[in-house]
Structure 1
Amino acid sequence: MLEPAYQVDVVVVGAGVAGLSAAHRLTSAGVTTAVLEAASFVGGRMATEKTDGFRLDRIGQPLFTSYPQLARSPGLDALVLRPFAPGVLLHHDGRRHRAGAPAGAGSARSALHAVRALASAPRSAALPGGRGVRALRPVPPPRSRAARPDDFAAPGSAAPARPGRFAPAADRAQPFGIGTPLRVRAALARIAATPVERLLARPDVPAAQALAERGLPARTVDGFLRPLLSALLCDPDLTTSSRCADLALRAFATGRLCLPEGGAEVLPELLVSTLPPGTVRTGVRVTSVSTNTVTTAEHGEIRCRAVLVATGARTAATLLPGLRVPGFHPVTVVHHTTDEPPGTGAHLLLDAERGGPVAHTAVVSHVDPSRAPAGRALVSSTVLGTPSADVDTAVRRHLARLYGTSTDRWETLAVHHRAEAVPAMRAPHDLRRPVRLLAGLYVCGDHRDTSTLQGALHSAHRAAAAILADLGTGRPMHSADPLPTTTPRAAAA
C-alpha cells in the first residue's frame, strides 16, 4: 500500500514499454522513481496470453533488428530476437513469391549489380535523397544462438556496411512485371543509404500519394510495397505519413523482421526485472496529475518533483486535458494451431491481392519455437480494420488459399481484437511531438513519436532526458504543495 505522503523524485504513470524504459533511465541516473500501473500486469499492448503451452501475442506487430533503440535501451541487454526468414513471401495468382530478401554474404559482383540497377532505373523510379549507393546489408542469424539486439548494426552507426543482393527468387516475382524488381532494389538501396534526418526533411504527404509521385509502376506498388507497408504500419489504405512510411521501408532495407523470444511480454518483463525492487506498483489507478502531485483512486496523493504520463494516447488525454488524441487502426489477431504446419518455413506471408481479411500471417512457431508445445505449430494471422462477425470463418477460408492447404482441422486458440491498437500517423505527422509540457509535467509513448516499438522507446529516451535536464540543477522545479489534510479515501473521492 502506498502512503499518502510518499515522496519520490518522479512518478511515472503507466507501465508500458515507454514508461518502464524511461523509469530505467531515471533510476540509472540516481533519480528515485515510482511507476504506477492501473492494470494487474505490465506491458500495456505488449501482452502475451498463455494457454495450453502456447504464447499468443495480443497484437502481432513484428519488430526489426535495425531498430536503434533496441540496442540502446538500458535493460534490454538480455533480449533475444528470433528473425524471420529474409524478405517476405507474397501471395499472388495462386503462387507464393519471395521478395525483398538480401542474400547471405556480399560480394563485389552483387555491389556492382546494385550500382547498375540504380544507374539503369529511371530517375523517378528511385526514391529521392541520398548520394551514391550503399548495397543492402544482409543480417544472417547466428547459427549458435538466437540474435540479440547488439548483434545488428544500428542505422547511422560506425559499423561498416557489407554489400548484399536480393535472392534470385525475388527476380521471378510475377506481380512486378519484367524489370521492375530492379527498380524495387534500387529504391530500397537508396532509402537504406539515406540518413534519417534527410528522410524527415522531405515533404509529408500520404504514403500512397508519395509512392505514386515517385514513378514506381502501379503493379510494383500494389504487388509489393502496399502489402508490405500494410503489415508494417497496420494501414492498408496507406494514409500514413510518407515520412513514417520511409522510416518503415528503411528499417526493412537495413534489418530483419523478427519476434522477441517468448512473446511480446518479454520486453516489459525484462525492463521490470532490472528496476530497483518496489519501483513498479500494479493495480494503482491514477485519477489526476499536476506538476508535483499524483492523485490515485485508492491510495490518496503522492508528492513528487515531476510526473511523466506514459499511458496510451486516450488515457493520457484524460489526465492531461488538451492533449490531442490521434485516430487508431483496429487490429485483430487470430491464432490457430495444427499438427501439420504449412510449408512456408519462417517467412512472413503477405497477400498481394487483398483477396480476404488477412493482411499477413506466419507460422510463428517456426520463427520462435518457444511459442508452441512440441509437435504443434502456431499460425498467427493479422486482420486490419473492423472485423466481420464471423471473422474466424473468413480467416480460415483466406488462409486455405494463402497456404494452399485445408484449414478445416485447424484449432482456433484465440481471437484478439483491439479497436485502438495502433495510433494512426496520418500526414502531416509530427514525429517529434513535445514530451515536456511544462516544468514538472511530461508525456511519452508511441503517440508522441512513431506508432512502433522504436517510437515508444525513443519517446521515453527524450522524456527521460528532459526530466534529467530539469532536475539537474539540484533545486526543486516548483514549490511543494502542503500535505493533504483529508484522509486518503476522502482525497480519492
Structure 2
Amino acid sequence: MHDVIVIGAGLAGLRCAGLLSARGLDVVVLEATDAVGGRQRTDIVDGFRLDRGFQVLNPAYPALRRSVDLDALALGSFPVGVRVRTAEGMAELRHPLRYPLSIAASLRSGLVNTRDAVALARWVAPALVHPLSRLARNDVAVREAWDAVGLSGPLRTAVLEPFLAGVLAESRGETSNAFARLLVRYFALGRPGLPAQGIAAVPEQLAAHARAAGADIRLGAGAERISARGEEIRVEVSEGDSVNAARVVVAVGPDAVTDLTGLARPAMNGLQTWWFAAAEPPTASALLTVDGRGRGPVVNTVVMTRTVPSYAPAGRHLIAATCLLPRGTDPAEENEVRRHLSEIWGADISAWELIRRDDIADALPAQPAPLGAARSPRYAERLYVAGDHRDTASIQGALASGERAARAVLSDAGSSSRAASLHR
C-alpha cells in the first residue's frame, strides 16, 4: 500500500507529489492522458510549438519561483504593454516606469487622459501594497469597481476591457475586482513570457523533480472510482489494477473532480486560440495587440516568434489569435477570425496557413465577486482536493493549491514538523 495517491499530473498534482516525495512518502501519481501537464501542454506540429491555447508564464508568481528553476526554462519575455487598434491607426501603451521614453507617445495616442490616468492609479495602488485578503474585503465585480473610481474613458473601453477579456476569458466585467487587481499587480511586477520549449516545460520540470524524489508517475492510468476500505483508500484504474493508499489527493479537471468526489462542477470560462503560420510577420512588434474599437471576435493577437523564436521553424513565424468561447453560443469561424485579423493588423493575411484551432471550453475557472478565501484541501477522511478552482484561476493558484494539499497530508499523517517546513 502506498502512502499517497495523487490523481492528476497537472501543476497542482505534480507540485503536491513532489513535495510529499521529498519528505519521504511513497507517492504514486495517476494521469489519464499520455503526458503530464493538464492544461499546460505543448504539441509539435509541422515544426511549430503549439501550446494548448495561448498561454503566458509570469515569473512574479511566488509559487512558481518556489517550484521551478526559472533560468532553466530559458524564458522569452513579452514587452510589458499593449498595442491597440484604434479608428485612427495603431497605438502603443507601455509600462511607464520600465519604458519612460514611451510616455509621450502614450499621451499622444488619444487613449490616455488625465481623468482616466488618475482613476487607474486609484484602482491599481491598493494592489501594490495590500495582500489579497485585504483586497477581497467588500469585493465587487471589476466593472463596478471601475465605475466607482471614475474609470470610464478610452483607457478602460479600448485598453483594459479588451486586454483583460483575454486574460480572464470573459468580457462582461463580472470577475472579482480583487482578483483582477491581483493579476495586474503580477503584471506590474513581472515580465510574463514563455519557455523556449513551450509551456509544457513547466510541468515537465515539476515531474522531473517529483520523480527524482521518488514519485512514481503513471501515464495512461485514468482513475475511475475512489472507495474507502478500512484504513486504506482504493482507486480503481481504467485498464489496470486498482491502487491502494492511506490517502488520496484529487487534482483533476472540472468534469473528473465531480465524477470522483461528487463535488459540484467548478464554473469555467472558455477560450479559443487560432494558430497561423506566415513567411513574413505583420509587424516587428512583440506586443500583444487588441482591438480598441469594440469589434470581435478576436480579443487579442500576437506574433509569438517575436518573443520565442523557437516556436517556429527557421524562416517562419507563428501568430496566435484568441477569441472568447462562451458556453451556449457558436464558436468563431475561420472566415470571421481572418477578417478581423486583417483589420487589426492592417495587412493581407490570405497567405497565412492555419495550423490548428484550439477550443478550450475549460480554460480557466470563473472567478466572480465576491472572491472567497482559498478552499481547504481537506474534503473527506483521508481525501483531499487540489487545483486552481480551489484557489485563484492561475498558474499561481494551481501551484499554491498543490502546496496546501501537501501540507495538509503531512499534518494529518502525523508529520506536523515536516509540514511546517514547507513554504507558506
TM over 0.5: yes
Deviations 1:438-482 (A, max 9, x none): 3411000111011111111111111111111111359xxxxxxxx
Matched, 1:276 2:217: no
Q: Aligned ranges for residues 373-412 of structure 1 at < 5 Å? A: 373-386=313-326, 388=330, 391-412=333-354
Matched letter for residue 96 of structure 1: M
Deviations 1:241-294 (A, max 9, x none): 122111112112222222222211111111112222661101112111245221
Matched letter for residue 104 of structure 2: P
Matched, 1:444 2:370: no
Q: Aligned ranges for residues 273-352 of structure 1 at < 5 Å? A: 273-276=208-211, 279-290=216-227, 292-321=233-262, 323-352=263-292
> Equivalent residue for 1:113?
none
Residue 349 of structure 1 aligns to a residue whose secondary structure is strand
Deviations 1:8-66 (A, max 9, x none): 11000011111111111111111111000111121111111211110011221323221
Matched letter for residue 425 of structure 1: Q
> Equivalent residue for 2:127?
191
Change (3 A) 1:389 1:469: closer
Residue 338 of structure 2 aligns to a residue whose secondary structure is helix
Q: CA separation in 2, counterparts of 1:254 and 1:83?
A: 13
Structure 1: state its 5+ residue gaps.
1-6, 106-163, 475-493
Contact 1:76 1:270 in 2 (8 A): no
Q: How big is the shift at 1:357?
A: 0.7
Matched letter for residue 45 of structure 1: R
Deviations 1:420-449 (A, max 9, x none): 222111223324012111341100011101
Deviations 1:378-406 (A, max 9, x none): 00111112475662111111111111111
Contact 1:189 1:253 in 2 (8 A): no
Q: How big is the shift at 1:343?
A: 1.5
Relative to total residues, which structure has the larger strand share, 1 or 2? 2
Matched letter for residue 317 of structure 1: T
Select 2:106's aligned residue among 170, 194, 214.
170
Matched, 1:234 2:175: no
Q: Aligned ranges for residues 149-168 of structure 1 at < 5 Å? A: 167-168=103-104
Q: CA separation in 2, counterparts of 1:245 and 1:104?
A: 21
Residue 210 of structure 2 aligns to a residue whose secondary structure is coil
Matched letter for residue 183 of structure 2: A
Percent sequence identity is: 36
Residue 277 of structure 2 aligns to a residue whose secondary structure is strand
Q: How big is the shift at 1:78?
A: 2.6
Q: Tell me how large the CA RMSD over aligned residues is.
A: 2.2
> Equivalent residue for 2:308?
368
Residue 340 of structure 1 aligns to a residue whose secondary structure is coil
Give the number of aligned pairs. 408
Q: CA separation in 2, counterparts of 1:390 and 1:224?
A: 22
> Equivalent residue for 2:422?
none
Larger deviation, residues 181-190 vs 34-43: 181-190
Contact 1:75 1:274 in 2 (8 A): no
Moved over 6 A (4+): none
Q: CA separation in 2, counterparts of 1:13 and 1:175?
A: 48
Contact 1:171 1:181 in 2 (8 A): no
Matched letter for residue 223 of structure 2: V
> Equivalent residue for 1:41?
35
Change (3 A) 1:214 1:165: farther
Larger deviation, residues 301-310 vs 58-67: 58-67
Q: How big is the shift at 1:82?
A: 1.5
Contact 1:47 1:265 in 2 (8 A): yes
Select 1:265's aligned residue among 200, 211, 215.
200
Residue 321 of structure 2 aligns to a residue whose secondary structure is strand
Contact 1:103 1:167 in 2 (8 A): no
Larger radius of gyration: 1
Select 1:205's aligned residue among 140, 155, 162.
140
Q: CA separation in 2, counterparts of 1:381 and 1:52?
A: 19
Structure 2: state its 5+ residue gaps.
417-424
Residue 211 of structure 2 aligns to a residue whose secondary structure is coil
Select 2:26's aligned residue among 9, 23, 32.
32
Contact 2:28 2:217 in 1 (8 A): yes
Select 2:367's aligned residue among 407, 420, 425.
425
Q: CA separation in 1, counterparts of 2:190 and 2:108?
A: 23
Q: How big is the shift at 1:366?
A: 0.8
Q: How big is the shift at 1:177?
A: 3.6
Larger deviation, residues 234-243 vs 92-101: 92-101
Contact 1:83 1:256 in 2 (8 A): yes
Deviations 1:210-236 (A, max 9, x none): 211222234332122212221221111
Q: CA separation in 1, counterparts of 2:71 and 2:2?
A: 27
> Equivalent residue for 1:9?
3
Matched letter for residue 210 of structure 1: A
Q: TM-score, normalised by structure 1?
A: 0.78
Contact 2:163 2:299 in 1 (8 A): no
> Equivalent residue for 2:421?
none
Contact 1:439 1:470 in 2 (8 A): no
Q: CA separation in 2, counterparts of 1:413 and 1:428?
A: 40
Q: CA separation in 2, counterparts of 1:187 and 1:389?
A: 33
Matched letter for residue 188 of structure 1: V
Residue 62 of structure 1 aligns to a residue whose secondary structure is coil
